[in-house]
């Protein structure tokens, strides 16, 4: 006999019963439903607290707006305060949104502002350089293009077409190496997987990528030297957010003969100036 919470199956031919393991499907479903219910209560409380502003809102009013009993509200408020999602407002038993919510709101606002302004900056830089210009963000180990513009000399550029939504592996792109260089945690997490070679110049040695990451931070820009597509080179510089973190990348790319890498100082300077102006426009500041 097996314990009551274990699952057994009777084999029809031999008549034997085999054990398949603990029957946890129903328990998992119950736990998932309970977790969702807890999360829903927390969200309802935060929405109610958020309507009050800095002055805060009393528990009695939270109960009235949400319909939850006072005991439930107090229990969840305690957890929200411990997590920094809510905080006491004065000494009159009121609560307001906590610093973590404010931080998330600011970060979300800056990210939205980055996406909105990126279009204008790539258009201007494409006109100035005549090259292909795009802005990117890092998403789960891939570089995603969020804005792109073609300069007058970029129409004949070969290779995969760069459009909004295009993805490239971080280790084989200038923008990707830029993001990894400015986030050691992201770099080490990325190196937990094999570095796939896309061309014979793609970096596949983790230590080489680490060394190049150090150089990227020192120089202030990252390069792609035929590493994603033979015949295409790229330079990327960071766009800084208000929290002194790199929130995006701005890059230019151009066709090049295999084995060569030639970037005019004027083009690089224009790119760096554009990224600097972009950063300042969204309240960004570079770490010196």
Secondary structure (H, E, C), 228-258: CCCCEEEEEEEEECCCCCEEEEEEEEEECCC
> Which CATH code is given to the segment(s) 109-281?
3.30.450.40
> How many other CB atoms are there within 10 angstroms of residue 56's CB atom?
19
Question: What is the reported pLDDT for 23?
Answer: 47
Residue ranges, comma separated, of all CATH 3.30.450.40 domains in the chain are 109-281
Residue ranges, comma separated, of all CATH 1.10.10.10 domains in the chain are 6-10+18-97
Question: What is the reported pLDDT for 220?
Answer: 92
- 3-class secondary-structure state, position 265: helix
Question: What is the reported pLDDT for 25?
Answer: 46
Q: What is the mean pLDDT of each run of 10 residues along the chain (288 residues)?
A: 45 47 49 77 89 84 92 92 87 82 65 77 88 87 85 62 81 93 92 91 94 94 90 91 84 80 82 90 69
Question: What is the reported pLDDT for 6?
Answer: 45
Task: Please name the CATH architecture into which domain 6-10+18-97 falls.
Answer: Orthogonal Bundle (1.10)
Alpha-carbon dihedral sign for residues 43, 47, 48, 49: positive
Answer whether 232's CB lies under 8 Å from 189's CB. no
Q: How far is CA 85 from the centre of its chain?
A: 21
Please name the residue ranges forming H helices in 51-183: 59-66, 70-82, 99-129, 174-181
- Adjacent-strand bridge partners of 88: 95
- 3-class secondary-structure state, position 38: helix
């Amino acid at each position: 006999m097996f314990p009551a919470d274990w699952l057994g199956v009777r084999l029809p031919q031999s008549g034997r019963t085999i054990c398949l393991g603990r029957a946890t499907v129903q328990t998992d479903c119950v736990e998932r439903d309970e977790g969702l219910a807890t999360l829903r209560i927390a969200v309802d409380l935060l929405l109610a607290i958020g309507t009050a502003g800095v002055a805060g809102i009393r528990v009695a009013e939270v109960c009235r707006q949400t319909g939850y009993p006072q005991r439930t509200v107090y229990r969840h408020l305690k957890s929200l305060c411990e997590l920094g999602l809510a905080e006491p407002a004065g000494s009159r038993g009121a609560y307001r949104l906590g610093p973590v919510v404010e931080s998330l709101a600011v970060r979300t606002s800056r990210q939205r502002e980055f996406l909105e302004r990126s279009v204008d900056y790539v258009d201007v830089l494409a006109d100035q350089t005549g090259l292909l210009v795009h802005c990117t963000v890092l998403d789960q180990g891939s570089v995603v293009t969020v804005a792109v513009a073609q300069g007058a000399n970029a129409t004949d550029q070969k290779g995969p077409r760069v459009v909004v939504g295009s993805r490239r592996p971080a280790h084989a792109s200038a923008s990707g190496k830029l993001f990894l260089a400015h986030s050691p945690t992201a770099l080490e997490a990325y190196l937990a997987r094999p570095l796939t070679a896309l061309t014979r110049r793609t970096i596949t040695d983790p230590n080489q990528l680490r060394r190049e990451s150090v150089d990227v931070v020192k120089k202030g820009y990252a390069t792609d030297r035929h590493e994603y597509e033979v015949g295409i080179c790229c330079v990327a510089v960071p766009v800084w957010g208000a929290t002194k973190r790199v929130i995006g990348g701005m890059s230019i790319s151009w066709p090049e003969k295999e084995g060569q890498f030639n970037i005019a100082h004027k083009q690089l300077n224009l790119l760096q100036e554009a990224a600097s102006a972009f950063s300042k426009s969204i309240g960004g500041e570079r770490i010196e």
